[in-house]
Structure formats: structure tokens, C-alpha cells
Structure 1
Amino acid sequence: MSKISIIVAVAENGAIGKDQRLLWHLPNDLKLFKMLTTGHTIIMGRNTFESLPNGALPNRQNIVITSNRNRTYPGVSIAHSLPEALELCQDEEEAFIIGGSMVYNEALQFADTLYLTRVYHRFEDADTFFPDIDFSAWQMIKDEMHPVDEKHLYPYTFFTFERKKA
């Protein structure tokens, strides 16, 4: 089985979105996302996929989880559960879970790595949240703090966590 990674940007209050959109624009976070996921498989729920402005993300195998047995999208593999999605990429080196909250909630229990961008702001009008993380199960292996600048309205930190070995 491939390494299962979660990649997410989360506000201080756990917010990750509103109306199927991100709550912030952080160009460096988008660059990190692209760098880490290019050449790998990305797994997402239907709402996350439908929020992408141009459909399937290029240079990645896109897998969309949907309960609708008739749903198809150009350039996308369809799965009807997270285990089925993971079966489709078992020969991959690393598969990335990219959202939304229900998929994150299910994947959090068995992911190997967590790439977490912490956005230092509270978005009170959010309607989508990342599940609570039991950080006692994770070891931080990297953190990189970034202040506000001309392209980033909020300070943020890139964290990488690996699941602690039992």
C-alpha cells in the first residue's frame, strides 16, 4: 500500500471553507500543494472536485469519491468509498487526501503523513471544518513560519507531521 498523506490548510478555529470555496488566498500554500502533489494521486470528495475551477488537476491522477453510481468527470477516476479510492492507487508511492471534511475525517485515522498549513486567523463565517486532530498520535518533523507580506494577508505556518509508530 502506498503512503497515505493528508494535505490541508486550516484556520485557527478549524475552518477550511465556505460555500465550497477556500476562505483565503495564500499563493505560497498553493505552490506547496502543487509541488507536493504533482506526479502523485489525489483523492477528494465530489464537492471538493466540483469546487476546482478547471476540473481535474493536471499531472496527477484525480480520484473523486461519490455515492452517485452514474457520476463521471473527464480525466477522473471514480470511487464510491475511501477504501475503494485507495485500492485504485495501491501501486503509487504516495496518495494525497485533499478534502473535503468528510473524506478528511475518515482518512485521519490511518494517514501516515499530515501536511498542515495553519492559517493564523479565525473565519467565523466558515461552513466547513477540519476534524479535531489528536496531536498525541503525531510527531512534528517540520515547521516553517511565514509572516504577513504583500501577497499573504494572514500569517501561516507549514507543518509536516508523521504518525508516531505504535
Structure 2
Amino acid sequence: MILSLIAAVDDSLGLGFENDLLWKNKEDLAFFKQHTNNKVCIMGRKTYESIGSPLKGRINIVLTSDKTYNPHPNALVRHNLSEVLHEFRNVPELVCIGGEQLYTTLLPLADRLYLTKVHHTFSQVDTHFPTIDEDEWSEYFYKQGTEKSKYKYTFHVYSRKAN
């Protein structure tokens, strides 16, 4: 199984504010869909609640410590990350879509990163992506964003370097 993380970050690795993304962009949404469709997606409870419903065309896993949490019949609720990694060990790719706590926990285990970099620093940010040690990663995909937007942005895909 390949363990991937996907996120859109600003120049300070900001992810969101008050349980919402810092920006919305059709081309970024297409990048997200391209790399999550037909895959198993794991997310924290707050991320799931910010989306509001299960993502179509994906297996949605919501990780929460709340044993009574029951969001939607099409979302699988799990309470233990190790069990999730074991349960889905035979899928081709498991993609973490957030939030901050889950990114921080999974980054040391991740094989691949899909990042949209928004070339701006937002003033109101309360969640961040963890710092990436660039010595551990190789960029193998880069694309300049083309949609007219207030901020320039780029798409990147990284794979973890072999030890």
C-alpha cells in the first residue's frame, strides 16, 4: 500500500481557518479529485464535518476518538489509526485528506505527497501542515496553476526518497 497525503497549503504551510479551507479553486479541486477518486480516503472528524458528507467515488474513513460518532452510512468510522492501516494494508493507495493532527501523525509514514502550494501567506490561519524535511522527498511532478486566481499556485507531487 502507498500511503499518501494531499493538501493545499499557503507559504507558511497554512491549511485552514475555523474548519474551512483557506482558498477554493476549480483547478485545485480537479487535482484533488484526480488523486483521490476510486481510492480509500482517511480523514479526521473535523475534516469530515467541514466537507459535510462522504466524498463520492471513494471509500471514506473518518478517524475519531468519539465512540458514539455516527455521521453517515457511507462513511466508515474508525477509532484506531493502527487498525485502519492494518485493515486497508492491501489497497493500492490510502490517501489522507486531513486534518492537521492526522497529517502530523502520518507524515513520517507517508510514501507520497500531493501538494497544491498557494503562493501567498494568509493572515487568518489556525491549522497547518507539518514541516517537510526536503532531504527526505523527491519532487517528480510540478505544474503551474492556470486558472485565473487572486494568488499564483503550483501543483507538486513528491515521493519519499529511499533510505
Same fold (TM over 0.5): yes
* Range into which the TM-score falls when normalised by the shorter chain: over 0.9
Percent of aligned positions with the same letter in both sequences?
36
Q: CA deviation at 1:40?
A: 0.4
Number of corresponding residues = 162
- What are structure 2's unaligned runs of at least 5 residues? none
CA distance in 2, matches of 1:36, 1:79: 22
Cα deviation code 1:10-46 (max 9, x no counterpart): 1001110001001111110101111111100000000
Q: CA deviation at 1:147?
A: 5.3
- Judged with a 3 Å threshold, the aligned counterparts in structure 2 of structure 1 residues 147 and 58 are, in CA distance, closer, same or farther, namely closer
Residue in structure 1 matched with residue 105 of structure 2 by the alignment = 106
- Give 1:62's aligned amino acid: N
Residue in structure 1 matched with residue 57 of structure 2 by the alignment = 59
CA RMSD of aligned residues (A): 1.1
* Pair 1:36-2:35 in alignment: yes
Residue in structure 1 matched with residue 126 of structure 2 by the alignment = 127
CA distance in 2, matches of 1:4, 1:116: 14
CA distance in 2, matches of 1:148, 1:63: 31
- Judged with a 3 Å threshold, the aligned counterparts in structure 2 of structure 1 residues 148 and 62 are, in CA distance, closer, same or farther, namely closer
Residue in structure 2 matched with residue 155 of structure 1 by the alignment = 152
- Judged with a 3 Å threshold, the aligned counterparts in structure 2 of structure 1 residues 35 and 148 are, in CA distance, closer, same or farther, namely closer
Which 4+ stretches in 1 moved above 6 angstroms? none
Q: CA deviation at 1:148?
A: 6.2
CA distance in 1, matches of 2:112, 2:13: 18
- Give 2:77's aligned amino acid: I
- Judged with a 3 Å threshold, the aligned counterparts in structure 2 of structure 1 residues 84 and 145 are, in CA distance, closer, same or farther, namely same
Q: CA deviation at 1:73?
A: 1.9
Asked if the contact 2:27–2:147 (Cα under 8 Å) also holds between the matched residues in 1, the reply is: no
CA distance in 1, matches of 2:129, 2:66: 24
Q: CA deviation at 1:161?
A: 0.4
Residue in structure 1 matched with residue 135 of structure 2 by the alignment = 136
CA distance in 1, matches of 2:64, 2:76: 11
Cα deviation code 1:87-138 (max 9, x no counterpart): 2322211110000000000000010000011100101111111111111100
Residue in structure 2 matched with residue 73 of structure 1 by the alignment = 71
Residue in structure 1 matched with residue 24 of structure 2 by the alignment = 25
Q: TM-score, normalising length from structure 1? A: 0.93
Identify which range, 76-85 or 17-26, moves more after superposition. 76-85
Q: TM-score, normalising length from structure 2? A: 0.95
- What are structure 1's unaligned runs of at least 5 residues? none
- Give 2:58's aligned amino acid: R
Asked if the contact 2:43–2:61 (Cα under 8 Å) also holds between the matched residues in 1, the reply is: yes
CA distance in 1, matches of 2:160, 2:154: 19
CA distance in 1, matches of 2:113, 2:138: 10
